[in-house]
Every structure is written in C-alpha cells, then in structure tokens.
Amino acid sequence: MTLPTPTAQAPSPALDTTAPRREYWFGLPALRTSARSARDTVRDRLRAWKVPGDTCCDAVLLVSELTTNAVLHTDSGNVVCGLTLTGDERLLRIELHDGGRIPVRPPEQQAGPGDEGGRGLFLVQQIADRWGSARSTRAEGKVVWAELTS
C-alpha cells in the first residue's frame, strides 16, 4: 500500500524539540481486523525503540481504540497510523488518519453496562495525557491523535 505524501505541517508545541525524534508510519485497510495488526505493529516498534513497558502498554491500548474507532466510522478504504517519539523520549504521539470528515469529540456520556460499544474514546480520554482531532495532512479527512508523556 502506498502511503499519502505528507504535506508540510507545523509541529505540535509538545513535539517541538531540538533533539532528533523517531517516526514510524504504516497503513492498514479499514477493517475491524486491522486493530490487531495495529496493536502488534505498535508493540513491536515501541519495543525496538526500548520504550518503557507501562508506556508501551498504554500506547498499544490507545492505538487499538483509535484504530477501531477509525475503521468503524471512516468512509475510506484505509487508515494511516503514525508514531512519533521525541528525541528526549519524554513524549510519544500516536496519530490515526482516515477519510472521515466529522471531527471527533470527547464522549458526552459513559456507555452503560449493557452497551456493546461506546467506551473507546472514554478510554482514550482516561489514558492519554492529551488527545484531540483535527483535519488530516496525510489523508482526505481527519486525524485523531493522543500523546503520552513520561
């Protein structure tokens, strides 16, 4: 799969650092089964970068929830996932780009005990230090991002 060509984007203030940073991007089909592939890919990459276990586990859960949300709500055939680790290794940013046009907002209410879904963004809100949604620079839609700090 060919990834879209990135366009110039102002760095997030949290990612603006003079030390080199590590980035890793991969694409997945917009299928429910892609959440497992995303988890495995992120786990392998973060282990290779020697990211601490707690941060790695949180990142795997975040990418799983963001991927699931993206594939359930996108109109496109694929999603693009990115990981950025700052040079000082204090900030990990996870991005999920898809073709969806509707901005993602914090959940207005928690899912009830009998609900099958509706917990993903609540988990993202609880685990991430910061998260949000914006217009994507890598897809014809939006990006949902989450950041973890150590």
Whether the predicted pLDDT of 15 surpasses 60: no
List, for residues 32-83, the tens digit of each pLDDT value. 999 999 999 999 999 999 999 999 999 999 999 999 988 988 878 999 999 9
- Measured from the Cβ of residue 126, the count of other Cβ atoms closer than 10 Å reads 8
More confident residue, 9 or 50: 50
Whether the predicted pLDDT of 8 surpasses 50: no
CA distances from 43 to 11, 55, 110, 129, 140 (A): 24, 10, 28, 19, 27
List, for residues 84-113, the tens digit of each pLDDT value. 999 888 999 999 999 887 766 655 556 555
For residue 83, give the H/E element and its range.
strand 78-85
- Residue count of the chain, please give it: 150
Whether the predicted pLDDT of 27 surpasses 70: yes
Which domains are delineated in the chain? 30-105+117-149 (3.30.565.10)
